Amino acid sequence: MTATTKKSDRRVPPEQRKRTEHSCDRCKTRKQKCNRIPDQARCEHCERFNYKCAVTRPRKQRLYGSAEHVRARMVLLEVLVKGLIPDADLSSFESMREVGESLGIPMPEIEEGEYHAPQPEPSQNNEVVRVERKQQHLVQDQQGQGQYIGPASSYFFQLKLRTLLGRHQERICQMLLFGRNPTDETLRPSAIEVLTESEIRAVARPPQSYANGNSMSYIPALLDSSVIDGLVRSYFEHVNVDFPVLHEASFLENYDRWRFAPQAVDRAWVCTLLCVLILGRRINPLGTAETQQQKWWTHVESLLPSIIFTSSIQSIQALMLAALHLHNTNHRDVCWTLTGAAARIAVAIGLHRDDIVCEGPRLARELRRLLWWTLYSFEQIQVSSHDRPSALDGTMCSTSSPHERLLGVGSSLWPPNYTLWSTRLTSILGFACRALPTAASDPEHTGLSGLLSPAAGLLRDLTRWHASLPQHLSLNVFDTLPDSFKRPVLLLHIQYHYTVSLLTRHSLMQHLASLSQQSTSDGNEEEIELTAKVCCESGRKSCELLVQLHKCGKFNAVTWWDVYFVYSSTLVLALGLMWDRAQQRSDRTTIDASLALLHSCAAIVVNHSSNPMVPGTMRRWIGMICDLDVLVHEKLAPSHQVVQSVQSDVNASSSVANAIVELVPSMPTETYAPIHDLGVAMQPSAELSVSHLDSALIVPNDGSSNPTMGMPFMNDEGGFYSWDSIGCMLLGTDTLNAPMNCNMAFFTDTGH
């Protein structure tokens, strides 16, 4: 008799099987058969020993299918969860339960070894659904080269917003913030020797007698040493607070050593010093000429090739400071390149790992941590703006927050525990940047729908972060904060709202576009309503905080991201205004308050644009903010609106608590006229109106060929720099690849 026959003989016919329909909890615990007594509430065992007979535990699930099928299913589910939640620990039931509780998901009580997977329902359609992606194109920089800008970038976001406002544009553009690469080389020094103090203090502009040819020999004049010291002091008081790349005490120690023995420091440190002087001059020129700054920058250019090939802390610091200067002077593309180089060097020397043994004093380890988080934050904001893949994987980072007390900055520059909460917010921003491409390509299905959607999970993380802030970092006690703490606290909350709007704005934009096309309503209306509310509230709050930053005299329009945050926040605020109008649920008072807030933001940046030290990148954004103010008022403002001065609401007095904590009713309800002319060659339609190809526009040869692409705003010295591309510097050539042809007409635009 075969084994199959024996198995068949042992099987009980279905009509004679006596499997218990329900087993009580006690019989399940004893793993015995639960014999039910007819017409009795208790089974035989419970009746005999007088136990409570209760059935509360779920019925045991049978294992359907093969063990290989179950294992494959578990692997797929685990990969799915790890893709949605990269940091999830799925090694045990307890860790998985903690993951679920952290996401707000009710988890069943399951003991290990007791649960088996249920039988999967048969799939009606196993065909893989492929998402149709829209064809993407490269945009052109001012050199005619193709540059990739992602669909979730702030640049394409503002183009879509312009379309909703009735300003249509062509398919491709030229990025004015991706600057020119002139081949005219001037003041090119040698990079062999380390510069001395006299060489750095040498004034580039010759005296009048030399310019007239009355003198056969020329000895350059020297800046006073106090000027150099003042520029260094301005840098540490205003720039390094926002961009903590350097440790002041360590830098000044090397500075004193260099003044007496130039060869005692390396070239990377000298490059850092030059960048410090350039950035410090933005704060307070102290009488230095633009040609002096140009000479410093050409020295930086000559030092960069050797710095890129050096893996050290000093190289990272020099690259980051040079990148910040380039970012501010219409060279955001080269800023991206240098930031990426700094990121690669940082990983190469182990800044991203806390378990790396660092030789030297404890201070050196804390400086490594501080530099890593500054670099990571700087790169992630660029990633969020360009929608490009990051060079730094946050999931592989184990670097903890630096100790402020050891660095000596916790009591004078930042509130206590500021770096701890700032690094946590930066980590969430990094994960938000990873979710951006999905949010832009399919916003209807990647917004807040689903508890495990990336956006929903990150918004929960942001909510917990905001709710857990200590009292001294919240806005409830803002009036009592020391003056030096107000800017860091406001920037912390501004970045929080920036991250929230970053996650939600594309879903709201998609829904507004469908409303404008009179599309049928979808099944996610409730989720979209929630997304709209969260997005609009964050945009409005961010604008209020930026207005407050200006009122307390802490707005930095020359070296940091303040103007960009205004640009990003006003885009979301304008989107919220259009949402209110489309839904027809907000009263006129609320809309007027939002219009007044938008105009206040535009007036603030115009007020700062009168400062001649405001660099070109900031002026491009200022032009876009004012252009947006005009478009929104033309679209939404009432026809009987009263025209008032541009500066009428900048200095309006209001309570700090009201400006930050209260909702819409706290904002002034007066309406203001939009800003029509800045006097900086920025017309409302200039960026988007080029309709025909023109060789002078594709490869500009001089500033006169195109009024929009001409000389930098307000004589910005950044436009005069002789900046070579990284490839040109490394290869020693003057000719790069031919410009990429996207086979499309382009128009000039400024917002990115």
Q: How confident is the model at residue 111 (pLDDT cuts 50, 70, 90)?
A: low
Q: DSSP states of 418-463 as a string?
A: HHHHHHHHHHHHHHHHHHHHHHHHSTTTSSS-STTSHHHHHHHHHH
Q: How confident is the model at residue 211 (pLDDT cuts 50, 70, 90)?
A: very low
pLDDT at residue 93, as a whole number: 78
pLDDT at residue 442, as a whole number: 56
Residue 65 has pLDDT above 90, yes or no: no
Among the ranges given (320-334, 401-415, 530-544), the one the predictor scored with the smallest mean pLDDT: 401-415
Asked if 604 and 550 count as a contact pair (C-beta separation under 8 A), the reply is yes
Say which residue, 242 or 67, is predicted with more confidence. 242
Q: How confident is the model at residue 364 (pLDDT cuts 50, 70, 90)?
A: confident
Q: How confident is the model at residue 654 (pLDDT cuts 50, 70, 90)?
A: very low
* Top-confidence range, 77-81, 171-175, 510-514: 77-81
pLDDT at residue 104, as a whole number: 66
Residue 659 has pLDDT above 70, yes or no: no
Q: What is the pLDDT of residues 125-143, one digit of tens each?
A: 333 333 334 456 677 766 6
* Top-confidence range, 33-42, 210-219, 615-624: 615-624
- Quote the percentage of the chain above a pLDDT of 70: 64
Q: How far is CA 454 from CA 2, 81, 273, 438, in A?
A: 56, 11, 42, 9
- Mean pLDDT to the nearest integer, 196-225: 58
- Mean pLDDT to the nearest integer, 38-58: 87
* Radius of gyration over every alpha carbon of the chain, rounded to an integer in angstroms: 31
Residue 730 has pLDDT above 70, yes or no: no
Q: How confident is the model at residue 555 (pLDDT cuts 50, 70, 90)?
A: very high
Say what angle helices 362-386 and 154-164 make with each other, to 10 degrees.
Answer: 30
Q: How confident is the model at residue 330 (pLDDT cuts 50, 70, 90)?
A: confident
pLDDT at residue 95, as a whole number: 79
Residue 543 has pLDDT above 60, yes or no: yes
Say what angle helices 588-609 and 616-636 make with each other, to 10 degrees.
Answer: 150
Q: How confident is the model at residue 489 (pLDDT cuts 50, 70, 90)?
A: very high
pLDDT at residue 678, as a whole number: 39
Among the ranges given (216-230, 478-492, 682-696), the one the predictor scored with the smallest mean pLDDT: 682-696
pTM score > 0.75 for this model?
Answer: no
Residue 105 has pLDDT above 60, yes or no: yes
Asked if 509 and 550 count as a contact pair (C-beta separation under 8 A), the reply is no
pLDDT at residue 202, as a whole number: 72
What average pLDDT is seen over the chain? Answer: 72
pLDDT at residue 566, as a whole number: 94
Residue 199 has pLDDT above 60, yes or no: yes
- Quote the percentage of the chain above a pLDDT of 90: 22
Q: How confident is the model at residue 542 (pLDDT cuts 50, 70, 90)?
A: very high
pLDDT at residue 569, as a whole number: 92
Residue 363 has pLDDT above 90, yes or no: no
**Strand blocks (E) in 94-219:** 139-140, 146-147, 172-175
pLDDT at residue 386, as a whole number: 84
- Mean pLDDT to the nearest integer, 286-315: 88
Question: Per residue, what are the HEC states of 531-595?
Answer: HHHHHHHHHHHHHHHHHHHHHCCCCCCCCCCHHHHHHHHHHHHHHHHHHHHHHCCCCHHHHHHHH
pLDDT at residue 628, as a whole number: 87
Q: In what order do the strands lie in the sheet with 146-147?
A: 146-147, 139-140, 172-175, 746-749
Q: How confident is the model at residue 525 (pLDDT cuts 50, 70, 90)?
A: low
- Mean pLDDT to the nearest integer, 334-343: 92
Among the ranges given (53-62, 218-227, 474-483, 712-721), the one the predictor scored with the smallest mean pLDDT: 712-721
Residue 373 has pLDDT above 60, yes or no: yes
Asked if 159 and 440 count as a contact pair (C-beta separation under 8 A), the reply is no
pLDDT at residue 315, as a whole number: 94
Q: How confident is the model at residue 614 (pLDDT cuts 50, 70, 90)?
A: very high
